[in-house]
């Protein structure tokens, strides 16, 4: 078991404030953490086949210790699970098991499970309660915090969803020790994002600790999770529904979502892998329009690559990618308003900002240069 000390971060949202618990061994203590918020001594767990195999028994034992009954719905792993048909079947399954509005559903898995389950919780009987129990690095530092829930549609990623805050986040650090390397690297993309957005000191910490992070060193990872959750909690508390500053959390994501959509949200490209390349693209585009220096781009690219992530679109899994298709997908982004595309760009390391007037012609020239042989 990891020996790091427990950390707690609060997402301050008035009456809907909640804590993110970060420590080793939390799955086996889940019952103790959850019990105080339960009105009935039972929970509904939504998870996927992989997480069920590895961690479900530990979680259920932790619940049994506190006499909490659990009903489990196990879904297929992968981004394709974030779809209408699985949203419907999951709601039906929970209702068939008798779920009501006072019940708590546990989103037990990575970002896919968290996003889908949060939406299920928001819709079922006009809203049941839910707790995020993220089991990947990416979901611990990003998707489980802040209340964004969604499924994908044919038109693009995360287009059907709700803002729906959980009542608690339980981020067990032990689960990170069993993550496949690809999942770890994908999560590190969302970690370095916080440094690139507005925290040059954290960026430097990542530069200096890339090897330890890649080796899943428990204390270094727990520190990275804490700083990331604090950054996310701060931004979400200031702008819960993304009227302004929360959009900064999408650094690299408009490029990334276009890349993911171009390959049909298939398993060849994980979300975090696309975000790694997307952030490098955001820095290169910023340089192309004279916002930041070549040194900033090189430093960002080097740090992203040191975390085991690809920075060059031409070498990215799931390709080849085509400039016109990428631009078309980017135009369907949620941040596009009246045909005007918004991008998160950077004036330097830790100096990201929201650019609401992106010139689509310029962007296409850039995308052509990114994808040409
Ligand atoms: N993942 C971006 C956000 O939560 O706003």
Centre of ligand 1 to C-alpha 97, Å, is 32
- In terms of Cβ atoms closer than 10 Å to its own Cβ (0-12, 13-18, 19+), residue 58 is middle
CA distances 311 to 11, 68, 83, 366, 368, Å, are: 32, 46, 29, 15, 16
Identified catalytic residue from 148, 157, 226, 299:
148
- Please, what CATH class does the domain formed by 181-371 belong to? mainly alpha
Q: Nearest 5 degrees, angle CA 183-CA 185-CA 188?
A: 110
Active site residue 257: yes
CA–CA dist 28, 59 (Å, integer): 6
Is 1's pLDDT higher than 50? no
Give the whole-angstrom CA distance, residue 213 versus residue 155: 35
Q: Which residue has the higher pLDDT, 10 or 334?
A: 10
Instruction: Provide the pLDDT for residue 333.
Output: 72
Q: Which CATH architecture has domain 7-178?
A: 3-Layer(aba) Sandwich (3.40)
**Which parts of the chain are beta strand (E)?**
7-11, 18-23, 42-48, 69-75, 104-109, 129-134, 148-153, 156-163, 168-172, 343-346, 352-355
pLDDT in tens, 211-243: 999 999 999 999 999 999 999 999 999 999 999
| pLDDT one-digit tens code per residue, 38-52 | 999 999 999 999 999
| Burial bucket for residue 305 (CB in 10 Å: 0-12, 13-18, 19+) | middle
- The yes-or-no verdict on residue 354 having pLDDT over 70 is yes
Average pLDDT (4-10) is 82
Q: Report the alpha-carbon distance of residue 35 to residue 129 in Å, rounded.
A: 13
Q: Residue 5 — pLDDT band, cuts 50, 70, 90?
A: low
Whether the pLDDT of residue 73 is over 90: the answer is yes
pTM score of the predicted model: 0.94
- Token look-up 């997402």 returns 11
**Beta strands at 343-346 and 352-355: parallel, antiparallel or unpaired:** antiparallel
Of ligand 1's listed atoms, the one at least distance from the Cα of 146 is: 4
Mean pLDDT value of segment 282-310: 98
For the chain, give every residue range classified as CATH 1.20.1090.10: 181-371
- Distance in angstroms (rounded) separating the CA atoms of residues 279 and 94: 38
Our answer to whether residue 253 is catalytic in this structure is yes
pLDDT given at position 267: 86
The predicted-structure confidence for 139-174, as pLDDT tens digits, reads as follows 999 999 999 999 998 887 899 999 999 999 999 999
For the cut 50, the answer to whether the pLDDT of residue 190 exceeds it is yes
pLDDT at 2: 40
Q: Where in the chain is the domain with CATH 3.40.50.1970?
A: 7-178
Lowest average pLDDT, out of 192-206, 306-320, 327-341, 354-368, goes to: 327-341
Q: What angle do CA 359, 203, 144 make, to 5 degrees?
A: 80
Mutate to test the pocket of ligand 1, among 246, 247, 257 (most ligand atoms within 8 A of CB): 246
Query: What's the mean pLDDT in 263-290?
Result: 94
Nearest-CA residue for atom 3 of ligand 1: 249
N-to-C CA span, the chain: 47
75/68 Cα distance (integer angstroms): 22
Active-site annotation holder among 271, 284, 329, 335: 271
- Annotation marks residue 125 as catalytic: no
Q: Residue 189: count other Cβ atoms within 10 Å of its Cβ.
A: 28
Q: Give me ligand 1 centre to Cα 263, in Å.
A: 22
C-alpha 249 to ligand 1 mean position (Å): 5
Whether 232 sits among the annotated catalytic residues: the reply is yes
CB atoms within 10 A of CB 180: 11
Whether cis (ω within 30° of 0) applies to the bond prior to 320 is yes
At 85 the pLDDT is: 98
pLDDT attached to residue 4: 47
Average confidence (pLDDT) over 340-366: 95
Give the separation between CA 110 and CA 138, rounded to whole angstroms: 7
Token match 């001594």: residue? 41
- The position carrying tokens 């019952």 is 31
Contact 89, 64 (CB under 8 A): no
What SS3 string covers 208-219?
HHHHHHHCCCHH
Segment 273-293 mean pLDDT:
98
Average pLDDT over residues 310-332: 95
Average pLDDT over residues 15-38: 97
Of the residues 193, 232, 329, 335, only one is catalytic, namely 232
| Average pLDDT value for the chain | 95
What is the CB neighbour count within 10 angstroms for residue 348?
17
Rounded to 5 degrees, what angle do the CA atoms 96, 145, 180 make? 85
Nearest-atom number in ligand 1 for the CA of 235 is 5
Give yes or no for residue 373 having a pLDDT over 90. no
Name residues contacting ligand 1 (CB within 6 A). Answer: 142, 146, 148, 246, 249-250
Weakest mean pLDDT among 82-96, 149-163, 230-244, 327-341: 327-341
User: Other C-beta atoms within 10 Å of 59: how many?
Assistant: 28
**126, burial (CB in 10 Å: exposed 0-12, middle 13-18, buried 19+):** exposed
Cβ atoms of 130 and 166 closer than 8 Å: yes
């Amino acid at each position: 078991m990891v020996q790091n000390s427990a950390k707690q971060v609060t997402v301050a949202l008035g009456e809907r404030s909640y804590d993110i618990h970060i420590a080793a061994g939390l799955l086996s203590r889940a019952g103790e953490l959850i019990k105080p918020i339960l009105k009935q001594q039972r929970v509904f767990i939504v998870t996927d086949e992989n997480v069920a195999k590895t961690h479900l028994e530990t979680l259920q034992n932790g619940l049994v210790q506190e006499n909490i009954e659990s009903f489990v719905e196990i879904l297929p792993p992968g981004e394709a699970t974030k779809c209408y048909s699985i949203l419907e079947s999951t709601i039906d399954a929970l209702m068939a098991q008798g779920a009501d509005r006072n019940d708590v559903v546990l989103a037990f898995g990575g970002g896919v499970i968290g996003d889908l389950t949060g939406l299920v919780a928001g819709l079922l009987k006009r809203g049941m309660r839910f707790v995020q129990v993220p089991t990947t690095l990416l979901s611990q530092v990003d998707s489980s915090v802040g209340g964004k829930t969604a499924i994908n549609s044919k038109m693009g990623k995360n287009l059907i969803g709700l803002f729906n805050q959980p009542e608690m986040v339980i981020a067990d650090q032990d689960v990170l020790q069993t993550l496949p390397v690809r999942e770890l690297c994908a999560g590190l993309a969302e970690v370095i994002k916080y440094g690139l957005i507005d925290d040059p000191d954290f960026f430097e910490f990542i530069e200096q600790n890339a090897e330890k992070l890649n080796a899943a060193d428990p204390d270094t990872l727990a520190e990275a999770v804490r700083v990331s959750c604090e950054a996310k909690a701060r931004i979400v508390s200031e702008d819960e529904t993304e009227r302004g500053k929360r959009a900064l959390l999408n650094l690299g994501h408009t490029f990334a979502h276009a890349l993911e959509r171009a390959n049909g949200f298939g398993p060849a490209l994980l979300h975090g892998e696309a975000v790694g390349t997307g952030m490098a693209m955001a820095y290169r585009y910023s340089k192309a329009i004279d916002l930041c220096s070549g040194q900033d781009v090189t430093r960002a690219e080097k740090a992203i690559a040191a975390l085991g992530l690809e920075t060059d679109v031409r070498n990215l899994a799931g390709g080849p990618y085509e400039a016109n298709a990428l631009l078309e997908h980017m135009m369907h982004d949620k941040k596009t308003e009246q045909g005007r595309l918004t991008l998160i760009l950077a004036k330097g390391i830790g100096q990201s900002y929201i650019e609401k007037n992106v010139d689509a012609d310029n962007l296409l020239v850039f995308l052509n240069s990114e994808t040409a042989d």
